[in-house]
Chain A
Amino acid sequence: MKAIFIVYNQAQTEKVEYLFDKLNISGFTRWTDLTGRGSVDGPPHMNTHTWPEQNTARLAVVEDEMVEPILEGVKLLDEVNKDVGIRAFVWNVDAMY
């Protein structure tokens, strides 16, 4: 099992939802109204007057084989416009209840 953490501009919410629905991923945890900044480029999303945009994040624990299609979808979304911003990070899940 893998944990996948997707953090994205809140303007992408519906598209990410669509992606999850399409891949039949039912379980996830979502945080809204987050702030953050990318390491490479793209505008920060700080919820300030200067950088007004905000992020939403999703954590989902999925079967190993689901990681690949999710990352593909994220990449697709990112390529529509690099400035909007979406990132995904994957790590191992050692144990679950």
Chain B
Amino acid sequence: MSIYGNAVKRPITTIMIFVALIVMGAYSLNKLPIDFYPDIDFPAISVITTYNGASAADIETNVTRTIEDNLNTVSNLKEISSTSRDNMSIVICEFEWGTNLDEASNEMRDALSFAEQYLPEEVNKPALFKFSASAMPILFYAVTAEESYPAIAKILDEKLINPLNRVEGIGAVGLMGAPGREIQVDVDPRKMESYNISIEQIAGVLNAENINLPAGNIEMGMMDYPLRIKGEFSESAVLNGLVLASYNGQTIYLDDVATIRDTIRDATFDERMNGKTGLRVIIMKQSGANTVQVARDVNAVMPGLIATLPDDVEVTLFWDSSDFIEGSINNLSNTLLFAGIFVILVVLFFLGRWRATFIVILTIPISLIVAFIYLYISGSSINIISLSSLSIAIGMVVDDAIVVLENITKHVERGSSPREAAIYATNEVWLAVIVTTLTVVAVFLPLTLIGGMTGELFRPLGFVVTITVVTSTLSAITLTPMLASKLMKLRKKPKRVRALSYDNTIGRSLNGLDRFYERTIRWALRFRIVVLIVALFIFIGSMMIAGKLGFVFMPEADQGSMTAAIELQTGIRVDETTKIARKIDKYVEEYLPEVIFNNTSAGSDDQGGMMSLFFESGSHRINYNMMLTAQDERTRNVMDLADVFRQYLATIPEIVNFDVVPNGGMGGTTENNVVVEIYGYDFESTSAIAYALADSIQFIPGATNISVSRDPSKPQLQIVPDREKMAQHGLNTFTLANAVRNRVEGPYLSHYREEGDEYDIVLRFVEEERNAISDINNIALRNMNGDMIRLSEVAGIEEHWSPPNIEHKGRERIVTVSVTPYKVPLNELAEQIQGKINHMEIPPEINMQMGGAVEDLNESMMDLMLLLVLSLVLTFLVMASQFESLKMPLIIMFSIPFAFSGVVLAHLATGITMSVISMVGGVMLVGIVVKNAIVLVDYINLMRDRGYELSEAIVMSGKSRLRPVLMTSLTTILGMLPLAMSRGVGSEIWSPMGIAVIGGLIFSTMVTLILIPVIYQMMLRRSEKRKKAIEYDFMNGNSIEQ
């Protein structure tokens, strides 16, 4: 017994199966985490190695190169790049998408263990760092304080961070910009020298006094006492009274030669929240945790925790990634809802019967719910991609049910009992229904095979659409006939037709439409040459327009945030940097009212640890993090604001370089930019070319945010020892170097301990005695004999320039110039830049290449072209076997080029730039548009087989199939309309796809209805004649073969 026969005969079983599906789906839906993007881990692993005191150039030769050479053999490695900075080497291994990163990191560890033996002794062990999108911060809190500010780190640690760490799903809680307490011992060199004491002596005393030591046990009577010496400083004031030495019989205390302050660390970092001093609490989730849930939990416990803090400490939510996610998800859920409503209205409009509409639309929730089961089993989440995929599928899932139901209705109206009609009518169409579904699957399943980042984005789309469409087909041949057998009944012709009944209004106008279409086809068949020429003209015309339309990689979304990295003259002092930051703050407050939250950090936070990896910092850098008001409350979008801000920054003379990134920071968007890569060993010539190129690019309209990756060289003071003179005084370079370091940076000292926390004790010259070259020259060095020798006597001080960062890509030195387009297409900008490059004179040893989003765009284009070809071949295979003919699929495929014309015209009409997203929309169209043509061509074949003459068969079929074609097209178009129209958060990415599909489908539907009949007639005229000839020959007794 067939599947549909069983379904109809055992209605309870059928219902139970579908109820089971719904229960499982509801369970999955309840358990599914909500996220913005699917868990896409960018396949890259960094190796971070620190080598204190080494310059960028030393790091490059001694550390980076060795590591690079050893890592180069790791399998699946796509590209190796590195940055060598002062004290630090970062090597980034980028792998092919889909590489198992656990295996890769094991292999890297093996390679590194081999590399370690070639690294210098003092180098710290290289550390692997896996960058994961899910490890990105999900919440930022801003903390401001007045009186409690000096102790804020301790307060927050106890009252906020520790309790927060107990919230489920939290990976880490970090603190940035917290002032650290330290005990400063500022030595006055004059006093110190007059007492004949050196810094080293003081350090020795401090280390010797600040000590607790167990000293064994003593047994007294019945007891056993452990013995302890307790010399650790009980409070910082103890330092004042430390005895250093005795001079001329007089005891010298530490406060005789130094000022001791228990205070907060030197400000090398200035952190402001909306202009107020503040710090950031950063919360990261565990990989795989539900962002929205974690954020909700944190926000729930936060008020309670804040209440325990001192009154002057204010904690404000600065950035909550779940807001954006929830906004997008709600927006898409609404989109899905509207899509559903539109589809229901279309079905009701064409069928005109409540029960039939109910049966058909029931396939929508069932198909969608099975998609949720898939998402749950595959470990995915509810995210903008899975929801958009559902939105795309929703218009396609009703098609099969409509076809089945239509045939059942036909049988019922002919007088069959609904039960039998359901079985036999399904029997007649089930194969056709499965084949049309296969054409859709033939297009969407290959989507799961694309590589690269596009593949990561569209794999869920392919799976979700395939699964929902297949489910809808299964439901159409089981649930639909079963429900039809129970719910349908023969409608008696109403005796009195009401004036406003369905038949009298919509039915009548649809009949009118049928007749109009019949006349159009007849006209088109007569003037087929005209139709062909017009069609050809439209296609060629649209393709020419397509060549002129710009291309971007991904449409930019307005995520309501903006970051800016501003770079001043390298080597500038933090105070100066801070002054400029205040100036910019003021501008932002005055001229960018859209910014509701503004976080400025100037200088570098040496204690920031891992956090500093996310933001490049330095005394000459200012980082801005801005939140904007909600999208509907402002007229300027984030791209416009970024441009305004850039123009302002360009007017400040102190600023050397700046990079304003709309949507930057934590959202994880791909930046749309052109990157010119300049390879070459020599710093000077490559830098010169990079800056020359950057200068010439400035004049290209729409080129903004031009930045050169290599910072300008940084001045350095080098102490050059004169070995001969040193030898005469009994000194060597080691003593010299240590003496200078101890006086300027401070020697290593024990820590001051209080209530379980350790604080640094910093001993060095008072600041006024160590901020000029003369101060350094004046440093007194003590030789073996105890004589004091000034540094200037044995060494000279020279100023040198050295590059602060050296970048490699593919183990070669590289400088990049990156440019962001503003209101110009990416590919156009790339072409213009290429033009500039062609005009430059480049030495043969220097190599230039285009990279960045342009490279991604080209890679994706190739992938998509391949995908298109694959889809075309697969649909052809399916259709050729369905029709058992090579000619029919060819006729049907004539509708595809016009889908692309539609895509182009839709972009032209809406003014949206083409992107990879709209191209994927184009590929999807292949599967969607051939469905229409299949319906039409199949019916023409049927009519011809039933004995109608070619033209007559075409006209009849057209008239009969107009409604099904319009209906399936309209359900798909209107199902996507909300997606295309949505203007909410994150919609910029998906509306181009909706627009592409709608444009392509409308256009190709019109073409299908006119052009396909014409082409059918032209291609089959000859075979029709031959058929007649064969009949004739047969009748005359000739053999058929002749």
A contact residues vs B (CB 8 Å cutoff)? 10-15, 43, 49-54, 80-81, 83-84
What is the CB-to-nearest-CB distance from B33 to chain A, in angstroms, rounded to a whole number? 47
The answer to whether B945 and A11 touch across the interface, beta carbons within 8 angstroms, is no
The answer to whether B946 and A51 touch across the interface, beta carbons within 8 angstroms, is yes
For the complex with contacts A11-B421, A15-B417, 18 further pairs of A-B residues with Cβ separation under 8 Å are: A10-B420, A11-B414, A11-B416, A11-B420, A12-B420, A14-B417, A14-B420, A43-B946, A49-B432, A49-B942, A50-B946, A51-B946, A52-B427, A52-B428, A54-B424, A83-B414, A84-B414, A84-B415
Does B459 sit at the interface, judged by CB under 8 A? Answer: no
Pairs A-B, 4 closest by C-beta atoms: A50-B945, A52-B428, A80-B415, A81-B415
Does B411 sit at the interface, judged by CB under 8 A? Answer: yes
The answer to whether A53 and B946 touch across the interface, beta carbons within 8 angstroms, is no
What is the CB-to-nearest-CB distance from A93 to chain B, in angstroms, rounded to a whole number? 31
What is the CB-to-nearest-CB distance from A51 to chain B, in angstroms, rounded to a whole number? 7
Interface CB pairs A-B, < 8 A, 5: A49-B942, A50-B945, A52-B427, A54-B424, A80-B415
What is the CB-to-nearest-CB distance from A47 to chain B, in angstroms, rounded to a whole number? 9
The answer to whether A53 and B428 touch across the interface, beta carbons within 8 angstroms, is yes
**CA distance in complex: A11, B945 (Å):** 23
> Which residue in chain B gives the minimum CB-CB distance to A79?
B415
**CA distance in complex: A52, B424 (Å):** 9
Query: Given the interface contacts A50-B945, A50-B946, A84-B416, does A11 sit within 8 Å of B428 by beta carbon?
Result: no
CB-CB < 8 A to A84: which residues of B? Answer: 414-416
CB-CB < 8 A to A50: which residues of B? Answer: 942, 945-946
The answer to whether B424 and A10 touch across the interface, beta carbons within 8 angstroms, is yes
Does B419 sit at the interface, judged by CB under 8 A? Answer: yes
Task: State the majority secondary structure of interface residues on A.
Answer: loop
CB-CB < 8 A to A13: which residues of B? Answer: 420
What is the CB-to-nearest-CB distance from B961 to chain A, in angstroms, rounded to a whole number? 15
> Which residue in chain A gives the minimum CB-CB distance to B425?
A11
**CA distance in complex: A51, B428 (Å):** 9
What is the CB-to-nearest-CB distance from A5 to chain B, in angstroms, rounded to a whole number? 21
> Which residue in chain A gives the minimum CB-CB distance to B490?
A80
Count of chain A to chain B residue pairs whose CB atoms are closer than 8 Å in the complex: 36
> Which residue in chain B gives the minimum CB-CB distance to A48?
B945
**CA distance in complex: A49, B883 (Å):** 10
**CA distance in complex: A84, B414 (Å):** 7
Highest count of chain B CB atoms <10 Å: which of A10, A12, A49, A51? A49
> Which residue in chain A gives the minimum CB-CB distance to B422?
A11
CB-CB < 8 A to A43: which residues of B? Answer: 946
**CA distance in complex: A14, B432 (Å):** 27
Give the size range of B's interface with the partner. 10 to 19
**CA distance in complex: A53, B411 (Å):** 11
B427-440 vs A, Cβ < 8 Å mask (1 yes, 0 no) = 11100100000000
CB-CB < 8 A to B432: which residues of A? Answer: 49
What is the CB-to-nearest-CB distance from A72 to chain B, in angstroms, rounded to a whole number? 17
CB-CB < 8 A to B428: which residues of A? Answer: 52-53
**CA distance in complex: A94, B357 (Å):** 56
CB-CB < 8 A to A54: which residues of B? Answer: 424
**CA distance in complex: A12, B424 (Å):** 10
**CA distance in complex: A49, B420 (Å):** 19
B389-425 vs A, Cβ < 8 Å mask (1 yes, 0 no) = 0000000000000000000000100111101110010
> Which residues of chain B (899-944) have a CB below 8 Å from chain A?
942
The answer to whether A11 and B946 touch across the interface, beta carbons within 8 angstroms, is no
What is the CB-to-nearest-CB distance from B773 to chain A, in angstroms, rounded to a whole number? 96
What is the CB-to-nearest-CB distance from B8 to chain A, in angstroms, rounded to a whole number? 12
CB-CB < 8 A to B424: which residues of A? Answer: 10-11, 53-54
**CA distance in complex: A83, B411 (Å):** 10
**CA distance in complex: A14, B419 (Å):** 9
CB-CB < 8 A to B420: which residues of A? Answer: 10-14
Highest count of chain B CB atoms <10 Å: which of A10, A12, A52, A53? A52
The answer to whether B942 and A12 touch across the interface, beta carbons within 8 angstroms, is no
**CA distance in complex: A2, B429 (Å):** 39
CB-CB < 8 A to A10: which residues of B? Answer: 420, 424
**CA distance in complex: A43, B951 (Å):** 21
**CA distance in complex: A46, B852 (Å):** 63
> Which residues of chain B (763-788) have a CB below 8 Å from chain A?
none
Query: Given the interface contacts A53-B424, A53-B428, A84-B416, does A11 sit within 8 Å of B942 by beta carbon?
Result: no
B931-967 vs A, Cβ < 8 Å mask (1 yes, 0 no) = 0000000000010011000000000000000000000
> Which residues of chain B (3-58) have a CB below 8 Å from chain A?
none
CB-CB < 8 A to A15: which residues of B? Answer: 417
What is the CB-to-nearest-CB distance from A27 to chain B, in angstroms, rounded to a whole number? 23
CB-CB < 8 A to B946: which residues of A? Answer: 43, 50-51
What is the CB-to-nearest-CB distance from B503 to chain A, in angstroms, rounded to a whole number? 20
**CA distance in complex: A43, B432 (Å):** 20
**CA distance in complex: A33, B700 (Å):** 76
What is the CB-to-nearest-CB distance from B426 to chain A, in angstroms, rounded to a whole number? 11
What is the CB-to-nearest-CB distance from B123 to chain A, in angstroms, rounded to a whole number? 76
**CA distance in complex: A49, B942 (Å):** 7
> Which residues of chain B (528-559) have a CB below 8 Å from chain A?
none
**CA distance in complex: A76, B883 (Å):** 40
> Which residue in chain A gives the minimum CB-CB distance to B414?
A81
**CA distance in complex: A50, B421 (Å):** 18
CB-CB < 8 A to B414: which residues of A? Answer: 11, 81, 83-84
**CA distance in complex: A18, B417 (Å):** 12
**CA distance in complex: A80, B415 (Å):** 6
What is the CB-to-nearest-CB distance from A87 to chain B, in angstroms, rounded to a whole number? 16
**CA distance in complex: A16, B945 (Å):** 31
**CA distance in complex: A13, B417 (Å):** 10
> Which residue in chain A gives the minimum CB-CB distance to B944?
A50
**CA distance in complex: A72, B411 (Å):** 23
> Which residue in chain A gives the minimum CB-CB distance to B416?
A11
> Which residue in chain A gives the minimum CB-CB distance to B432?
A49
> Which residue in chain A gives the minimum CB-CB distance to B412?
A11
CB-CB < 8 A to A12: which residues of B? Answer: 416, 420
CB-CB < 8 A to B945: which residues of A? Answer: 49-50
Highest count of chain A CB atoms <10 Å: which of B414, B415, B420, B429? B415
**CA distance in complex: A54, B423 (Å):** 12
CB-CB < 8 A to A49: which residues of B? Answer: 432, 942, 945
Highest count of chain A CB atoms <10 Å: which of B411, B416, B420, B429? B416
> Which residue in chain B gives the minimum CB-CB distance to A10?
B424
**CA distance in complex: A29, B429 (Å):** 29
CB-CB < 8 A to B415: which residues of A? Answer: 80-81, 84
